[in-house]
Structure 1
């Protein structure tokens, strides 16, 4: 790209800033650079010759055109974030004297209430995984341990698949996770997860481990580190045997764990820390789930609902 936003070298420097200083994921970096490429074309069509010439109306017009083309609010919000991040960086590094995006506002992201299991349904799911593990198949022992740990800790599926054996302390009942932005946190898990992990480590993992396994906690049949697709297919295969449960991936267990914690009396800050959310606002979506359930119960039970 060599347009109003600068030559390729400038965009490479910005990419390095996103990866190294901001700790953005590969997917976020790719999305931001694509957004800036689209902005570059838009600005050039408006006759803007350099990033120093960009003004707030230019950016508002760009977002407006994206919305008019039918993009979702979340897409418009992400593109606004890409622009704001770029111009803030450009000003901080002396490439421009004023940041034109300071007052740039984007529509708030749509808040979709996540599909979650009810607590009894989560229990049925994990009971089913335990029954399947009774055949002593090492993969079934692994599946039980993975699902117990996902639900017990509320960890992300990528955090689960990234675990090494030494990241889990069975005595303390804790797991050390590397989350978004390479931020480390320690999360607790309870007795059922401890029991499932103990059985997997003693009687399952040794039978699958090969020279290629390394320190990976969870392994596939060929001894390689388990991937997110395998975790998803494991969960969905078990859910298919349970009536009236929502279709969901591993993130659904994370949603379920957070919702059940709040329903059980945990405070938002505790749940935020457990889930590794940078912002409390992200955690607050689970209060909506809990309130919706409370409202449904009220309308069903109260004589003047």
Structure 2
């Protein structure tokens, strides 16, 4: 970067600059006259040597990207002729943290921080344009932040759902079960859990293949999802194990829900192509209700013990 002239020798007029749009005071041009105009080669990184400055592009094109440690990747912007960069650094009285690079051979007007403040005190037009510019950038930054939050929430939801069945997964359970238990204890309301294990599923997979097994899991998940209330939660715990969390549901009602699920699972059509002659899928169900002073681990242990009894008694049944 080398100085080639001063602004007083430049062909650009004050009104061509975004920050000085509608400025009619000739004293502003006089103040700017001694400011340096520098030439920057294409690809050259602009260094401010730790000093806050405003750079106005007279010709060419700049790209501004935050430093890697600024935590703001992805918000690069381009500065066209007449536009400026570095205003925030001057207002903060801090060195510019953004990385500025010339995308073309460019000429820049350089205004030192002290000169910027002199101009702000002299020119109401500059102050107004600066406020308008910063307001626009704040709105743009907020819009970018909202988009990132939506994308982040989208991927967070993906991380909490099982890709095969669409049910909530174990990560969701680890996060939400303690909250559901705490809410139930605080409100003095029942919380029931139905644990489900598809019967002889390993044998099913070994006999018919994993693709058929995935179809059976998806069908079982559909039965579970469609039989529950909007306030209930269906979870794939792992492998062929699933569960239903039933807020505000006492144990006797939870047993009725489990009996309905067991019946519907027996009658579910796993594969529409009957030439496959695959058996229906059945499940063993264990039901438990949150005991006073208990926690989520105890609730799951109780449901698992009930599930084990259902298997011992011949599977395809409900125990509590």
Taking structure 1 as the reference length, the TM-score comes to 0.20
Specify which structure has the higher proportion of strand: 2
Which one has a larger percent helix, Structure 1 or Structure 2? 1
Indicate the structure whose relative CO is greater, using CA pairs within 8 Å and at least 6 residues apart: 1
